[in-house]
């Protein structure tokens, strides 16, 4: 199921962002993830044609979708932010409740799986 695979990949991105931020703390490297909002793109039109048709007047343009990631990368006011998930330049919680939080062992499994897939030890020696 493509929707489930997408959701799992996005959850993994959020978890890995937090883990990389923890491992890189104090190095001067910031790691964040973000949600651009619903943006009018060919991917949305193709994958969700009914949604695209109904919601088209409310979809963001590409510039609006890119605003937060550009802000995170280039703004002095965002330079000390790390490990967060952002929407419209605001840090937002990634869990609706504590019951949706993954366990430490699940997080470590994901880290180890990524190391296996990338054939890397993912060690952070120096930056």
Per-residue pLDDT of the chain (127 residues; tens, 9 = 90+): 787 898 899 999 999 999 999 999 999 999 999 999 999 999 999 989 999 999 999 999 999 999 999 999 999 999 999 999 999 999 999 988 888 889 999 999 999 999 999 998 777 765 5
Contact by Cβ (8 Å): 34, 14 = no
Q: Within a domain: residue 114?
A: yes
User: Which among 6, 51, 87, 109 is annotated as catalytic?
Assistant: 6
Contact by Cβ (8 Å): 35, 90 = no
Domain count for the chain: 1
pLDDT of residue 125: 64
Q: Within a domain: residue 97?
A: yes
Pick the closest to residue 72 from 39, 31, 38 (CA basis): 31
Question: For residue 37, what is the domain's CATH number?
Answer: 3.40.50.720
pLDDT of residue 127: 52
Q: Within a domain: residue 23?
A: yes
Q: Within a domain: residue 124?
A: no
Contact by Cβ (8 Å): 67, 89 = yes
Range of the domain at 87: 2-118
Backbone angles phi, psi at 33, to 5 degrees: -130, 165
Q: Within a domain: residue 82?
A: yes
Q: Within a domain: residue 126?
A: no
Q: Within a domain: residue 42?
A: yes
Q: Within a domain: residue 74?
A: yes
The question of whether 9 is a catalytic residue gets the answer no
Give ∠ CA 80-77-86 in degrees, rounded to 5.
Answer: 75
């Amino acid at each position: 199921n493509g929707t489930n695979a997408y959701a799992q990949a996005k959850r993994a991105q959020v978890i890995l962002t937090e883990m990389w931020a923890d491992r890189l703390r104090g190095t001067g490297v910031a790691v964040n993830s973000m949600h651009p909002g619903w943006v009018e793109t060919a991917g949305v039109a193709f994958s969700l044609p009914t949604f695209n048709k109904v919601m088209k007047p409310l979809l963001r343009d590409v510039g609006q979708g890119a605003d937060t990631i550009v802000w995170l990368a280039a703004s002095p006011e965002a330079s000390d932010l790390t490990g967060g998930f952002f929407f419209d330049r605001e840090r937002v919680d990634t869990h609706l409740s504590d019951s949706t939080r993954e366990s430490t062992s699940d997080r470590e499994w994901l880290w180890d799986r990524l190391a296996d897939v990338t054939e890397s030890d993912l060690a952070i020696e120096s930056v």
